[in-house]
Structure 1
Amino acid sequence: MEKSYQQYLEDYLQSFVNLSSEELTLFRSQLSIKEYAKKDFFFESGEIQIKMGFVCKGLLRRYYINEKGKTITTGFVKENEYATDYPAFIQQRPSKYYMECLEPCIIIELAYDDIQVGYTNFKSHERYGRLIAEKVLTIQTDRVESFLFDTAEQRYLNFIKDNPGLINRISLTHLSSYLGIERQSLSRIRSKIAKK
């Protein structure tokens, strides 16, 4: 049976184990939950992202469109991850990215203004904000370093290792764009690995 929205919210709140009852009450009052259909956008390029999203169910893709009109995938956001362009979000400036649902999604949302209220009133909220920032920064840094230090094949193998099961949920076109290689090259890499 499908979880209720309330159960998704309660499961999410359970991850914040050190919050006082007062903090939990505030946090619970600030959260909202929303369903998105496949191909809906959580936010689009040029928009200011006013809500942080925590993905309960579904999969999103972050991408931008370059000066030649080509779509470049820069990330995937799955269950138990945050849907955000974090640097733009914390500065409340327009994003350069699109965040599109590849599957129907259920997302818990927390508004930027409410996050600031939490930071002002509770030290633990600052700690959780820092942990989210560290996680997002690590993901972005790992991606940049993979282009600097890894071969295309290593990037593919690392993606599979770090994202078990995700390979069956995304298209080869999106994956090849994310890995920075042509689709034909990705097919060759996959064939080569399959023969090992």
Structure 2
Amino acid sequence: MEAGAAILLESVRKICPTLTDEELLAFVSKFTFEEFHRKDFFLQSGKVQKALGFIVNGLVRSSYVDNDGNEITVGFYYEGDYATHYPAFITQQPSKYSIQCLEPTVMACLSYENLQWIYENLPGFERYGRLVAGEILNRQQARIESFIFQTAEERYLDFVRHHSALFNRISVSHLCSFLGIERQSLTRIRQKLAHK
């Protein structure tokens, strides 16, 4: 998994370029590399997330089941993202979300215990952890605000702007669920935009 380690380290260097090679090697030594098949679960609702998953290759979907039994998609994560329900991971409480692979996926996995070891022994990574956590929380806040302040069409356009590479990798039903709209509404939005 040397290629996976290189991708992980490249991602870390982009965020924290001042970390030394020794620090980076100690950091990556705490990860295990795992392969998942399409439809495999990285995290199941009701379970405690044992590890953060940095996606080296592949695509996963985060979802929950609402009170009516509908599965609601809340996020898509792909190469360079961390797959996590971060608040539940940090507190080691059961998650309300599931994270499932939409494609064969390779993840660099960091256990909760190894994350604590890194923070205690590699202080330079506290900044990295803070920045990654901040990015995760910013995305969650942006999603919440999209439902408060944006129309369905604006949410769709936002998705097109920021995630155009995902269109051929996700199903229409998962996209509709993520946007909070019915399939017919998505069709109407696409037709309207095609005629602009």
**Global fold match (TM > 0.5):** yes
Superposed displacement of residue 20, structure 1:
2.6
Contact 2:7 2:56 in 1 (8 A): no
1:13 counterpart letter in structure 2: L
Superposed displacement of residue 134, structure 1:
0.5
Counterpart for residue 50 of structure 2: 50
> What is the TM-score normalised by the length of structure 2?
0.94
Task: Describe how 1:72-87 pairs up with structure 2 within 5 A.
Answer: 72-87=72-87
Superposed displacement of residue 22, structure 1:
3.5
* Distance across 2 between alignment mates of 1:183 and 1:47: 31
Task: Describe how 1:38-187 pairs up with structure 2 within 5 A.
Answer: 38-187=38-187
Unaligned runs of 5+ in 1: none
1:31 counterpart letter in structure 2: F
* Distance across 1 between alignment mates of 2:66 and 2:96: 10
* Distance across 2 between alignment mates of 1:122 and 1:33: 21
* Distance across 1 between alignment mates of 2:109 and 2:93: 18
* Distance across 2 between alignment mates of 1:7 and 1:88: 30
1:111-157 deviation line (CA, Å, top 9, x unaligned): 11111011112221111110111110011011011111111000000
2:2 counterpart letter in structure 1: Q
RMSD: 1.1
2:34 matched to 1:13?
no
* Distance across 2 between alignment mates of 1:143 and 1:25: 35
Superposed displacement of residue 24, structure 1:
2.4
> What is the TM-score normalised by the length of structure 1?
0.94
Counterpart for residue 194 of structure 1: 194
* Distance across 1 between alignment mates of 2:177 and 2:28: 38
2:147 counterpart letter in structure 1: F
* Distance across 1 between alignment mates of 2:56 and 2:194: 33
1:39 counterpart letter in structure 2: K
Contact 2:4 2:56 in 1 (8 A): yes
* Distance across 2 between alignment mates of 1:125 and 1:113: 15
Q: Secondary structure at the match of 2:69?
A: coil
Superposed displacement of residue 25, structure 1:
3.1
Superposed displacement of residue 11, structure 1:
2.5
1:9 counterpart letter in structure 2: A
Q: Secondary structure at the match of 2:126?
A: helix
Superposed displacement of residue 30, structure 1:
0.6
* Distance across 1 between alignment mates of 2:191 and 2:36: 35
Unaligned runs of 5+ in 2: none
1:10 counterpart letter in structure 2: A
Q: Identity rate of aligned residues, in percent? A: 48
- Higher mean C-alpha displacement, 144-153 vs 18-27: 18-27
